[in-house]
A and B are shown apart, each in its own frame.
Chain A
């Protein structure tokens, strides 16, 4: 076995994908939405529930998500993995599923997520436990942590609230091309800057949506992928890095572990930044997009704020970032990581409609979990990328 998982490059593929309950799904539970997405993804792959023998899941509302999914869908898996690294769980599941498939521990892997947190209460649902050394200061995570990181990035690199606003505007411009996006319509820089301040320097317009939504993908080994879908999305590389849990312990608040997860993913995939046609970044807050553009190497450290100016990441710009409208304007049901993958698959299939990136061959999905804690980068590609 060669180093850094290189032997796993291109060995698995996403052959089925579906979403359900995007935005608002009144009257549906999280598991009902997850079930709809799972059935849809299997149908997309020409498979049924009985074919699934590997289950990968994490949710915001189940302590034992794989058990709950297995029971609800009547599955009998021989491999299951409930790795929970927050919103980045699903990028990690792509790696776990690829390893399990390649080892012959399963043949059909289902990765799934569902949440009804908008219609169930409208507040972010999280099982995240308080950190005892933080509790006396009443942080309101996650936004407190991201506000702290933004304050540090501004102080170190001169990033401005206007730069953060440009991220929100680009996301909205993409959402306006996506009929499934929840927040559509005109948005001005003034509206973003004048929005209610929640945790300095982040306003309500710097925060992701709280929506309902479910997504599921089905993976098989690459050698049988074409039997299930004419345009499989091959898993080219996945890299992960994690250094902290509490924002207090993050070594440098202006630089994330995405530096390492990205390098690992690019090395495994054997491709470069310039090869990326679509870049999906976990934008729970506007500062995330700036941090990840820098840390994944799409611009020099500290230049992220200037990079996002002048529509550079908006439709028609230099780099197609968050083409679904992102967590900021498309969908964000608590854990967003699987929706990055769903959009990448859509683009690699050429099924993006008005927002389609021409000849998309390689897409990067960068998941983020906790308070800029777990970082997982996955690179997907079409057959041409193999």
Chain B
């Protein structure tokens, strides 16, 4: 058994560093074929040979809610990436969307820093 690979920093910091460079990266374990998100040191199957790969940037809307308050409304979405992993995100261009809608990712500069958000793919309505 080999110890998990340790780089200059852990998976959370590495993901954020990629994001700051404008890259949406997720983890992949060649030994099991698993993709992993959110980034961590081991896969659900126990693999630790995790490599960073560019996310395809395509996915499907899995669930969505619209947070409404006096300050305004914004949606919070769960997106299933085509790699088979799920992430929390938002669809800034629309109030809400139908579950099953096809989406494409882009990196947006938000107040607190860069984040991955999604737009409805061309012809992507569910």
Contacts and interface: CB of A to CB of B under 8 A. Distances in A.
Contacts of A155: 63, 98-100
Interface residues of A, number: 29
B33 to A, nearest CB: 18
Contact of B63 (A134, A149, A246): A149
A197 B95 CA distance: 14
B83 to A, nearest CB: 15
B7 interface: no
Interface string B61-87: 011111111000010111000000011
Nearest to A202: B65
Contacts of A246: 88
A386 to B, nearest CB: 41
B112 interface: yes
A135 B87 CA distance: 12
- Interface size grouping (class) on chain B: 20 to 34
B27 interface: no
A245 to B, nearest CB: 11
Contact of A198 (B12, B68, B86, B112): B68
A198 B110 CA distance: 23
A199 B78 contact: no
Interface in A361-379: none
A200 interface: yes
B115 A136 contact: yes
A152 B88 contact: no
A288 interface: no
Contacts of A196: 68
A138 B37 CA distance: 18
B90 A137 contact: yes
A385 interface: no
Contacts of B62: 152, 253
Contact of B89 (A137, A201, A247, A253): A137
Interface in A116-148: 132-140, 144, 147-148
A134 B89 CA distance: 8
A149 B65 CA distance: 9
Contacts of A135: 112
A255 B67 CA distance: 23
Interface in A32-72: none
Contact of A151 (B63, B74, B86, B90): B63
Given A148-B76, A152-B99, A248-B38, A133 B88 contact: yes
Contacts of A148: 63-65, 76, 78
B65 A199 contact: yes
Nearest to B116: A136
Nearest to B86: A248
B96 interface: yes
B46 interface: no
A248 B88 contact: yes
Nearest to B75: A200
A152 B68 contact: no
Given A151-B99, A248-B38, A253-B63, A199 B68 contact: yes
B65 A138 contact: no
Contacts of A151: 63-65, 99
Given A139-B88, A199-B68, A133 B38 contact: yes
Contacts of B77: 137
Interface string A189-212: 000000011111110000000000
Interface string A231-260: 000000000000000111100010000000
Instruction: Please name the 8 residue pairs, one residue from A and one from B, whose CB atoms are nearest each other, closest first.
Output: A147-B65, A136-B115, A133-B38, A155-B99, A148-B63, A200-B66, A152-B63, A199-B65
9 contacts: A133-B87, A133-B88, A139-B88, A150-B65, A151-B64, A199-B65, A199-B66, A200-B66, A248-B88
Interface of A: 132-140, 144, 147-152, 155, 196-202, 246-249, 253
